[in-house]
Amino acid sequence: MNEIADLNKRFAVPDHLCFEPAPDGRALARIDNRHASAAVALQGSQLLAWQPNNADPVIWLSKAALFAPGKAIRGGAPVCWPWFGAHAEHNDWPAHGFARTAVWQVQECLGLDDGSTRLSLALPAAQIPSRLWPHPTSLQCRITVGDTLEMELVTQHQGQQPVTLSEALHTYFNVSDVRQISVTGLDGCDYLDKVDDFRRKRQAGAVTFAGEVDRIYLDSRADCLILDPGLARQIRISKQGSDSTVVWNPWTEKAARMGDLGEDGYLTMVCVESANAAENAVTLAPGDEHRLQLRYAVEPLGT
C-alpha cells in the first residue's frame, strides 16, 4: 500500500480531512470543513493554505514555490526550529534549522464538535540530526482549522542539562498590495534591524512598507493587526509563549535574487512571524516543556 493510501486508511476524517499528493508526489493533508479549507505539507508540518469560506485566501504561497525533498517551500507557515535565521556559530548549517525540511509523522486527525478540524504531527527522532542538535528534545505541531486558524508548537526537553533554542512560525500572509497595508501592535517596541546591520531601534506608529523590511521586534506580546484596505479586512494575530515578532518583506532586489518568489510576488505577501528569537531565545531546564501558540482571525477593517 502506498503512503497516501495508508495515511487515508489510518487518519482520514470524512467531511474534514484527507491526504493527497503534493506537487512532488509526497503527501499533504487537505482539509475542507464547514468553516474553511486548508492544506498542510507533511514535509515541515508546513501550513500551505488557509481560506475561510466566502473570504479571500489568508495564507500566501508562491506560484514559483519548489516542492522537493530537503528544500524549503516558499510561502505558507514554515516551522523554524531549533534556531531562527543563521546559526550563531555555524554559517554552513541550514538557515532556520532543520524542522522545516524534515518529514513529519501524523499523530492524530480529529473532526471537532464545532465543525473545525485538528491535525497533530510530530518530528520523528530519526529526522533530528544529532550532528546539528545533540539534545534529546521532541517537537509536536498541532493545527486547528476553522473560521479561525490555530497553531501550537510544543517542545519537550528530556535531557539532563539546560538547552537554549530559538524558533518561529514564519507565516506568509496574502495581502492586496504590500505598499498599501500597515501592521499595528508594535508601536514602542525595540527591534533589531537586519537591513541596517542589526542595529537596535524603536518602532514609532504602525509598520509600513516602501522598501526591504527585516526586523525582529523584541518583547512583543500584544496582538498584531495586518490592516489591508485593498481587501477591506484586517488579520488579527494573537499569540502566547512568543516574545518576539518578526516582520519581513524582501522587496524588489532581494526578491529577484531569491528566484522562488515569483514575478512581483513580494507585492502580495508580508511575513508577520510569531517567534522567540535573538535575546528572546528560550532556555529549557531538564524536563521542561515550551508551547508557542497562535491564532489568526479575519475581521472587517477597523473593528
State the catalytic residues: 170, 273
- Bridge partners for 246 per DSSP: 216, 273
Distance CA 14, CA 25 (A): 22
Contact 181, 226 (CB under 8 A): yes
Distance CA 67, CA 254 (A): 21
**Cα–Cα nearest to 203, from 219, 180, 186, 216:** 186
Q: How far from the centroid of its chain's Cα atoms is residue 153's Cα?
A: 10
Reading the block at residue 68, the C-alpha cell is 522537493
Q: How much of the chain is helix, strand and coil, in % rounded to 5?
A: 10, 45, 45
Q: What angle do CA 10, 14, 20 make, to 5 degrees?
A: 60
Reading the block at residue 17, the C-alpha cell is 480531512
